[in-house]
Structure 1
Amino acid sequence: MAVPKRKVSRARRDKRRSNVWKLPMPAFSKCTQCGELKAPHKVCLNCGYYKGREVISKEA
Structure 2
Amino acid sequence: MVPHPKRKHSQGRRDRRRSQDTLKATNLVACSNCGELRLPHTVCPNCGHYKGVEVVARESKK
TM-score range, shorter chain: 0.7 to 0.9
The percent of aligned pairs where both chains have the same amino acid is: 36
| Deviation per residue, 1:3-60 (Å, 9 max, x gap) | x77431438x62x323223411011000000110000000000000000000000011
- Unmatched tracts of structure 2, length 5 or more: none
TM-score for the superposition, normalised by structure 2: 0.71
Question: Between Structure 1 and Structure 2, how many residues are aligned?
Answer: 55
1:48 and 1:20 map into 2 onto residues whose CA distance is 36
Superposition misfits of 4+ residues, deviation over 2 angstroms:
4-7, 16-22
C-alpha RMSD over aligned residues? 2.3
Which amino acid in structure 2 is aligned with residue 48 of structure 1? G
TM-score for the superposition, normalised by structure 1: 0.73
